[in-house]
Structure 1
């Protein structure tokens, strides 16, 4: 039961932190068009456009968008532009060449 409650709490946090402005900014950071985000997230183009226009969309669609961006290494905090997380996907093109490679694995 605790894991269900934890999931609900995490979803509420994600919904609070991920704003329409974040969506547009994150798309720009990744160089994705609305159509690409739709394909990547499974959320319809019209829903993304409505969300970015600050209209309501289902919570499940918002979560899908937020989680898709988070899987690319982006993090979201209210009042701030999206940022890259500490463990950014693709931040080191060739990790084997790093001096601390043994610690990466």
Structure 2
């Protein structure tokens, strides 16, 4: 039961933190078009365009978009542009070449 409650809590945090502006900014950071984001996330082009136009979309679609960007190392906080997280994937192009890579393993 605790894992389900944690899942719901994390989803609510992601939904609160990920805004339509974040979606457009994150696409720009990655150099992705709406079509590319649609292919990468499994969310339809129409839904992405509606979301970025600040219209209602299903929570599941918003989560799919947020999680796809997060898998690229992006993080989202209300009131701020997306940023690169400290994850190995998102922080440097070749994490194995870092002097402290052994600490990550």
CA RMSD of aligned residues (A): 1.4
Give the Cα–Cα distance (whole angstroms) in 2 for the partners of residues 99 and 56 of structure 1.
46
Cα offset, 1:88, TM superposition: 4.5
TM-score between both structures, scaled by the size of structure 2: 0.92
Cα offset, 1:87, TM superposition: 1.3
TM-score between both structures, scaled by the size of structure 1: 0.92
* Per-residue deviation, residues 31-55 of structure 1 (Å, max 9, x unmatched): 0000000000000000000000000
In the other structure, the counterpart of 1:24 is 24
Moved over 6 A (4+): none
Identify if the C-alpha distance between structure 1 residues 88 and 20 changes in structure 2 by more than 3 Å, giving closer, same or farther: farther
Preserved contact between residue 11 and residue 63 of structure 1 (Cα < 8 Å)? yes
Consecutive unaligned residues in structure 1, runs of 5 or more: none
Secondary structure at 1:38 match in 2: helix
Cα offset, 1:64, TM superposition: 0.1
